[in-house]
Amino acid sequence: MRYKNPNYRKVRGSHILLVSCGYCKTGIAEYQKVGRGNLLRMYENRIIKGSIDWSRKPRVLHCPNCGKQLATRITLRRKNKKAYRMIRSAFNTRRVD
């Protein structure tokens, strides 16, 4: 995890997830998850740090090791927030506390 996200903010009542590639098990990001349930979207302001340069704001999230696509960048209409829609079965999560 080399790059820190400049847009990161702490959220109350959350826990930290380690998101890794589902193909080669390379660590992609540390993400601050709020609530229960599966990881469907990664909001930009909740990504703590990762192996991808977040200041460039990539349109598609690729694994830095194997190059497989893990997510695409979207803008939510109702909240006008930037997020990455995760592709199911392309990533793994593990709780870190």
List pLDDT tens digits, range 21-74: 999 999 999 999 999 999 999 998 889 888 888 777 789 999 989 999 999 999
List pLDDT tens digits, range 33-44: 999 999 999 998
Q: For the whole model, what pTM was predicted?
A: 0.84
In the chain, where are the structural domains located? 3-96
What is the CA angle 49-30-78, rounded to 5?
90
The pLDDT, as a whole number, for residue 79 is 81
| CA dihedral over 57, 59, 63, 67, signed as positive or negative | negative
Q: Cβ-count burial of 87 within 10 angstroms (0-12 exposed, 13-18 middle, 19+ buried)?
A: middle
Fold of 3-96: 2.170.150
Q: How far does CA 41 lie from the centroid of its chain?
A: 8
The pLDDT, as a whole number, for residue 1 is 63
